[in-house]
Amino acid sequence: MLQFEKKYIPNYLTVLRFILVPIIFSLIITEKYIPAVIFFFLANLTDFLDGYIARKYNLISDFGKLMDPLADKITQISTILALIIKGIIPYWILVILSLKELSMIIGATFLFKKKMVTVHSKWYGKAATVLIFITIIFTLLSEIFTNLSIITPYLYYISIGMTLFAGVMYVKNIICKEF
């Protein structure tokens, strides 16, 4: 039998986020938007808590360093994909976010293999994540409260802009560190 260990609480929270992904996806597909908001919020709460607990109690692990950002991106991308499938948002949003994330993964892999740099999250990356979170919440709620749909396109423009800004800043910081 598996034994619960306090030192793995951040990792348990990350795994919980992976478990929530198909639940959120299916809730959106079946147009159960309020439960989708609740589970999406819960997934993002686990993201905040695992980072907070890991830093506060020095429980940072290699598993967490790798899987936490992966869980974040899978949660975001799968939620956005469900919204696209339902025809709620245009596909170009996923294309831009996916290209940015793919370029970050390729760059990080290249740098990791060369042992050149370790990239840590910065304020602009966190801001982009928070903006996407808020935008997705507004999108889901706008399916129930239609007057919110006036705001959501602008939230996507701001979120995408911040995401691209974060990508540019990460590249700039990496280049400046290396040269």
Whole-angstrom CA distances from 14 to 42, 71, 176 are 12, 7, 32
DSSP annotation of 3 reads: -
Which residue among the candidates 47, 50, 68, 72 is catalytic per the annotation? 72
Radius of gyration of the chain (CA): 17
Is 72 annotated in the active site? Answer: yes
Q: Rounded CA gap, 109 and 174, in Å? A: 13
Torsion, Cα of 146, 151, 153, 159 (10° steps): -130
Q: Which amino acid is at 40?
A: F
Whole-angstrom CA distances from 28 to 21, 31, 97, 98 are 11, 5, 19, 20
Instruction: Give me the active site residues, please.
Output: 72
